[in-house]
Structure 1
Amino acid sequence: MNQIRYIGYDIKHDSKFIFDLPNGHDCWLFLLTHTPANFFVNGRLEEYPAYSAVLFPPNKKIYYSASQSVYENDWIRFDSAEPFVEAFPIQGHPFSPKAPEYCRQIIKLLAWEHAELNEESDQITHHLLSVLFKKLLDQDEENIKIQHQLVQLRKEIYHSPEKEWSVKLMAEKLHISQSYLQAIYREKFNISCMNDVISRRINYAQDQLLNSNLSVNEVAIMAGYQNIEHFHRQFKKITNQTPLQYRQSTSIKT
């Protein structure tokens, strides 16, 4: 059977959030992010996109932190000797589940059940956890491959917003059609690929405006905008402020 020790659903933290346990927990930890986050994997810190899942086994290093202004996730600390947990093929490494919203709803049900603590709770908890882990593996080989490629593509977008991203370029990287890319990207991340590029560019620009002395034009170029007026229009559309207004207003608050 499985026993939940603690569970958190829809938990929010600020940009300073860091969770660092060099020796891990003495139980299992499963988490599902809602926002991009940094994870320490294979000896280095890397940013992974929103809706990344990770299963940390007992007594193994755990490190993850906010990578943007807000960090949100669901998490479960639990004991288990069940094969579907112990033999889970991806441990200690973030991956992208096929149906993250479905998984979130199961975690929500688990949180409710954990709060109830009635005589049927153990059986229901066991059933819900088995469904959760089955859903996490509900991916055929080809889908796993394309899901991994999508995650890698998004990581590249997040790390290099200055590149001249286009639907054509992204589709060519994955060797699929542009229409198919747009469909699976939206299904996977709940945002179109180009809107994701724009969102990342503006987020990057906000960070540079807040934490550097670069001029607005320099920030625009670093964020991937060769047309400065276009940068101003998109920045204001998303933030309701011009870049200069954003820099001045955040300076006043801090």
Structure 2
Amino acid sequence: MINIRFVEYDTSHFGEFIFDIPEGHDCWLLLLTHTPAVFLVDNEYRTYNSNSAVLYKPNQRIYYKACSDRYSDDWIRFDTDENYVTATPITCGVPFIIQEPDYCHNLYQLLVAEDILSNKYKDISIDNLLRTLFNKLLESYHCVNISPLYKCLNELKMEIYRKPNSDWTVANMAERLNISAGYLEEIYKNTFGVTCMNDVINSRINLAKKYLLYDHYSISEIVNLCGYRNTEHFFRQFKKITGVTPNRFRNSPFQRNHLEENQN
């Protein structure tokens, strides 16, 4: 059961802002900061970067303040007996960097909407949204080394899969992030476990599979639509990844069923 007491996003305060509750709240508090802030941790005042999350359990001391001319955050105060909160491995009262701040921010916006609108399935929706939010926080919490460029890398990866037919090269991807090509290859592989060019290839082959099964494009048209300039190169990469030629893939009912199962 989840009972939201208050939930807000994009709250903002001037630089003299201080939030100090020695006895804590009688409920849970989860913050996601948009600006750097000072938190009291282990009786020390420590500065944490923006895009940090911190979870306070009921009756735990709460202290944080602005460390610049403005402080902004998303926050939710709630009651719950759900195990994913009460038994979370996240250390309460200690901020940590969020891998996907925009994603988490969107979840806060949806939580606010559900809380305000009070639709028929409000309770189920709020529980699902909060579970997803905690899952995303756990992903960040268990990530030992988060690159300062993680947000940019994540946006790049999403762009690769949205637009696989773009003229992707390591050089132009590195230029987008204003870093060297060698550094991009290193941090991309460390972050996602795959090279950026392998992601480009996978995104193009995934798109080719859909065109082969659900559209009436010729092979030469698919080659161009998927960003290839050379048919032989396309055939070679397609067979290496799928184990069959594009023509055989198109004519195989098993491949169609397999693709549909993966999409579902």
Q: Please give the alpha-carbon distance, in whole angstroms, between the structure 2 residues aligned to 1:104 and 1:60.
A: 24
Shift of 1:120: 1.5
SS class of match (1:24): coil
Residue 57 of structure 1: how far off its partner (Å): 0.3
Question: Is 1:179 the counterpart of 2:183 in the alignment?
Answer: yes
Q: What's the offset of the Cα at 1:138?
A: 2.1
Aligned twin of 2:136: 135
The match for 2:111 is 110
Residue 101 of structure 2 is matched in structure 1 by 100
- TM-aligned CA deviation for residue 98 of structure 1: 1.5
TM-score normalised to the size of structure 2? 0.55
Cα 1:181–1:53, aligned 2, differ >3 Å: closer, same or farther?
farther
**Structure 1 gap ranges (5+):** 152-176, 188-254
* C-alpha distance in 2 between matches for 1:104 and 1:110: 10
C-alpha displacement at 1:43, in angstroms?
0.6
**Secondary structure of the equivalent of 2:96?**
coil
Q: Alpha carbons of 1:44 and 1:5: their partners in 2 closer, same or farther (altered >3 Å)?
A: same
Query: Which whole-Å CA distance do the structure 2 matches of 1:75 and 1:53 have between them?
Result: 10
- Aligned-partner residue type, residue 20 of structure 2: D
Q: Distance in 1 between matches of 2:23 and 2:51?
A: 25
- Counterpart mapping for 1:55-134 below 5 A: 55-90=55-90, 91-134=92-135
**1:50 Cα offset (Å):** 0.3
- The structural deviation recorded for 1:8 is 1.1
TM-score calculated relative to the size of structure 1:
0.57
- What are the equivalent positions in structure 2 for 1:1-254 lying under 5 Å apart? 1-90=1-90, 91-139=92-140, 144-147=143-146, 179-180=183-184
Rg larger for: 2
Post-superposition offset of 1:181: 10
Superposed CA RMSD in Å reads 2.5
Instruction: Output one character per residue of 1:24-75: Cα deviation in whole Å (capped at 9) or x when no partner.
Output: 0000000100000010001111110000000000000000010000100000
AA aligned opposite 1:28: W
1:145: Cα distance to partner?
1.5
Secondary structure of the corresponding residue to residue 130 of structure 1: helix
User: Measured at CA, do residues 178 and 43 of structure 1 come closer, stay the same or move farther in structure 2, by a change above 3 Å?
Assistant: farther
User: 2 CA distance for matches of 1:58 and 1:77?
Assistant: 10
Alpha-carbon deviation of 1:118? 2.8
CA shift for structure 1 position 89: 1.5
Instruction: Report the Cα distance in structure 2 between the residues aligned to 1:57 and 1:3, rounded to whole angstroms.
Output: 15
Is there any run of 5+ residues in structure 2 with no aligned partner, and where?
A: 150-180, 192-264
Letter aligned with residue 20 of structure 1: D
Structure 1, residues 128-175: CA drift from partner, whole Å, max 9, x if none?
Answer: 10111011112595xx2212x869xxxxxxxxxxxxxxxxxxxxxxxx
Task: Report the AA paired with residue 85 of structure 1.
Answer: V
Q: Following the alignment from structure 2 to structure 1, what is the Cα–Cα distance between the partners of residues 37 and 115?
A: 27
